[in-house]
Amino acid sequence: MTPVRGQPAIPAEPVSFILLVRHGRTVLNAEGRFRGLEDPGLDETGRDEVSRVASDLRTAPLAAIYSSPLRRALETAGAIARPHHREVRVDPRVRDLDYGKWTRRTPEEVARADPDRFARFRADPDHEAPPGGENLSSLRRRMDRSLRAIARRHVGETVVVVTHDIPIRVVRAEVARSPTATVWSLDVPTGSVWQLTVRDGSRTRIEPRKVPSTPVA
């Protein structure tokens, strides 16, 4: 908007950055099983991944570190927070998708046992849900509430949010304005970092942050 002649321009709201971190690997990740609200800790590979992320972010100007309440996320957030001498702030809204009765099963097992429901969930995840679980519309709403609150609280700052695979996929699809079902084609590796740009309250861009293959000395 062009300012009226003779009046001072309204300064643009500072840009904020939310670093969405997927937790390190667990045994259930390695086996390709739905984790959901199951609560395994990190395995050896996961601890190595988290060490690299913490090393990469140790000099970043982090105003706060938020985390899902699940153990795999808390272990990841704790490693990132330690060099910054900050407490981890737990936010249940960024927890993983609840897979209900499909938890701890592989997609192949579910597809064989309940092919019709699994096909409906893959085709229309906004409305279909695993039995006893949640759909992606529910997940998107809680992620949206969390990210909006965090962005308002940290205008012009950089923060970390440690979360999970599907929440990050949903945010990526939303920023790209893609249909929700495209989440299944997106890749969010364990131990990856995604920089979300928030400008004037809107999430405008998300891109991967390259994490060194070995911890920075």
| Predicted confidence (pLDDT) at residue 52 exceeds the cutoff of 80 | yes
pLDDT of residue 3: 45
CATH of the domain at 150: 3.40.50.1240
In a domain, 161, yes or no: yes
> Of 2-16, 21-35, 108-122, which gets the smallest average pLDDT?
2-16
Under a CB-based contact definition with an 8 Å cutoff, are residues 203 and 174 in contact?
A: yes
In a domain, 95, yes or no: yes
Residue 66 burial by Cβ neighbours in a 10 Å radius (0-12, 13-18, 19+):
buried
Strand pairing class (158-163; 62-67): parallel
Range of the domain at 82: 16-191
pLDDT of residue 201: 77
pTM (2 d.p.): 0.91
In a domain, 132, yes or no: yes
Check residue 111 and give left, alpha or beta (phi > 0: left; psi -120 to 50: alpha).
Answer: alpha
In a domain, 85, yes or no: yes
pLDDT of residue 212: 74
In a domain, 155, yes or no: yes
In a domain, 196, yes or no: no
In a domain, 29, yes or no: yes
pLDDT of residue 203: 87
Q: What is the DSSP letter of 26?
A: -
Structural domain total, the chain: 1
Instruction: Over range 10-37, report the average pLDDT.
Output: 91
In a domain, 172, yes or no: yes
| Predicted confidence (pLDDT) at residue 1 exceeds the cutoff of 50 | no
pLDDT in tens, 154-190: 999 999 999 999 999 999 999 999 999 999 999 999 9
Give the torsion sign (CA, 192, 197, 201, 204): negative
